[in-house]
Amino acid sequence: MITLTHYLVLSAILFIIGVLGVLLRRNAIVVFMSVEIMLNAVNISLIGFDNYLNHSDGQIFSFMVMCVAAAEASVGLAIIIAIFRNKPTINLDEFNLMKW
Amino acid sequence: MELLIFYAIAAFCIVLALLVITNKSPIGSAICLIAMMLGLAGIFILQRAHFIAILQILVYAGAIMVLFMFVIMLLNLKNDDKGWKLREKNTLLSVLTGVLLAGVLFKIVKITTQSVFSLPKTLSEDFGTVAAIGKALFTDFVLPFEVASILLLVAMVGALVLAKTKVN
């Protein structure tokens, strides 16, 4: 019998993997993919609570999360392309356009 | 049986997520991420959220990952040999964040294992169907739905403007 705890633990593990990717990788595109992993982890726990409470509001929220993920991916990748055109690297440590 | 399937899919997803962040080539990461998204669609089907499972495959594994692949191939990225290495500039901050997050999650697991939160045996008949989600989306959540459409429009225009103008 699957319980709510199973879904929450899976969600927590995937979220931590995503955080590790964001903190430890330097490749901007891999960092973006780690953000996608984190958003997916949140979706699992949203729908897990939905199952537990037996109504469908959480699924609407995960639908909105998907919308935000799509918007974030398109704008983020456009920013990466714009920076790449200016300076041919996607190493995050060499991005210093906004440094003060 | 259901639990066995859950463990199999969960292990698959975790291994592929680890491969995403450890892979040296960005294309390899993207392919692992697509496989992870498909595994997560399996988890959503186990949770009886069929509509979200279909959206997961169509929107994430389809549209978003095609965008990623397109950008990786457009930029013609090489493997970075220093891919898996601590970023020495903010190691302290990273470790601090990791410890704090681990503490919070440990607390959550401690609370959730105090009692068994078993899921209800029978869900309502139309749980997770397109009809139920669509009805909720166009009655109770019609304002967030419209705001989401404006968000997507703004993102589209923003992506066009960003990709067309030159950064100095």
d(CA B66, CA A32): 14
Residue B132 pLDDT: 87
B75/A81 CB distance under 8 A: yes
Give the pLDDT confidence score for residue B8 in this predicted structure: 95
Stretch 38-57 of chain A: residues touching chain B, C-beta under 8 Å: 40, 43-44, 47-48, 50-52, 54-57
**Residue B2, pLDDT score:** 85
pLDDT tens-digit series, residues A34-91:
999 999 999 999 999 988 888 888 899 999 999 999 999 999 999 888 888 887 777 7
Res A4: pLDDT? 84
pLDDT at A100: 64
Per-residue pLDDT of chain B (168 residues), as tens digits, is 888 999 999 999 999 999 998 888 889 999 999 999 999 999 999 988 889 999 999 998 889 999 999 998 888 776 655 545 555 666 678 778 878 887 887 787 777 777 767 777 777 777 878 888 888 889 989 999 999 999 999 999 999 888 887 655
| DSSP string across A30-65 | HHHHHHHHHHHHHHHHHHHHHHHHTSSHHHHHHHHH
Rg for chain A, CA atoms, rounded: 17
Is B26 in Cβ contact with A30 (below 8 Å)? yes
Query: What's phi and psi for A19, nearest 5 deg?
Result: -60, -40
Place of tokens 């399937």: B5
The interface predicted TM-score (ipTM) is: 0.90
Give the nearest partner residue to A59 out of B43, B72, B133, using CB atoms: B133
Collect all residues of chain B within an 8 Å Cβ-Cβ radius of residue A37: 17, 20-21, 33, 36
Q: Write out chain B residues lying below 8 Å of A13, CB-based.
A: 14
Tens digit of each residue's pLDDT (9 = 90 or more) over B114-152: 776 777 777 777 787 888 888 888 998 999 999 999 999
CA distance linking residue A60 with residue A44, whole number of Å: 13
For residue B86, what are the contacts with CB-CB under 8 A and spacing of at least 6? A24, B94
Distance (Å) from the C-alpha of residue B127 to the closest C-alpha of chain A?
A: 7
Nearest C-alpha of chain B: how many angstroms from A29?
A: 7
Q: What confidence score (pLDDT) does residue B80 get? A: 58
pTM, two decimals, is 0.87
| CB A65 within 8 Å of CB A35 | no
Q: Which residue of B has its CA nearest to A88?
A: B75
Q: Residue A64 is nearest to which of B51, B127, B144, comparing CB atoms?
A: B144
Beta bridge partners of A27: A91
Buried b (16+ CB within 10 A) or exposed e, B45-67: bbbbbbbbbebbeebbbeebbeb
Chain A hits for B167, CB-CB cut-off 8 Å, are 82-83, 85-86, 97
Cβ-proximal residues to B158 (8 Å cutoff; 6+ apart), any chain: A74, A75, A78
